[in-house]
């Protein structure tokens, strides 16, 4: 202003009522003799500042939710891996023993049928666990596929 250049300022004011307001003042200085005047306008921009603060709060909350979702996704993947392996181990033992027992020639027909049911059900459960792992892989990051020509 002292140099005679237009100026602007944005400032926070606390009124006598204790309410915080933001103003934006802009104008041009002018001299009349040895006196300096400032011809301009002041605009209340409190609403704009409140909107910007709310926007920042929403962005922060969204970032926190993204972090939380990533943690939940990782926990789900860990659970799927742990549950799959914990189910697969005893299932493999059951299936192995059932197949081994079904090879025993001293078993009767009814026992062979029952062991065959155990083997079939264990195979179905093993397929379900494989499907669970496949779903987890599909949900994970997709790697690009490289194509090569073949004859």
Q: DSSP code of 24?
A: E
Q: What is the pLDDT of residue 142?
A: 61
Query: Which ranges of the chain have pLDDT less than 70?
Result: 139-143
What is the predicted pLDDT for the residue at 76?
Answer: 87
Dihedral (CA of 78, 74, 77, 83) sign = positive
| Cα–Cα dist 128/103, whole Å | 26
CA dihedral in degrees (27, 28, 32, 35; nearest 10)?
70
> What pLDDT sits at residue 60?
97
Judge if pTM exceeds 0.85.
Answer: no
Q: State the pLDDT at residue 140.
A: 65
């Amino acid at each position: 202003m002292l140099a005679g250049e237009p100026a602007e300022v944005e400032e926070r004011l606390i009124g006598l009522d204790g309410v915080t307001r933001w103003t934006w003042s802009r104008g041009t200085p002018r001299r009349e003799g040895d006196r300096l005047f400032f011809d301009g306008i002041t605009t209340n921009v409190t609403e704009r500042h409140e909107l910007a603060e709310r926007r920042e709060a929403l962005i922060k909350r969204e970032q926190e939710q993204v972090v939380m979702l990533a943690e939940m996704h990782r926990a789900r993947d860990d659970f799927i891996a742990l549950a799959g392996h914990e189910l697969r181990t005893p299932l493999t033992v059951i299936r192995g023993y059932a197949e081994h027992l079904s090879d025993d020639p001293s078993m009767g027909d009814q026992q062979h049928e029952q062991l065959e049911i155990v083997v079939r059900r264990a195979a179905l459960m093993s397929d379900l666990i494989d499907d669970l792992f496949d779903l987890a892989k599909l949900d994970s990051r997709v790697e690009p596929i490289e194509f090569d020509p073949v004859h």
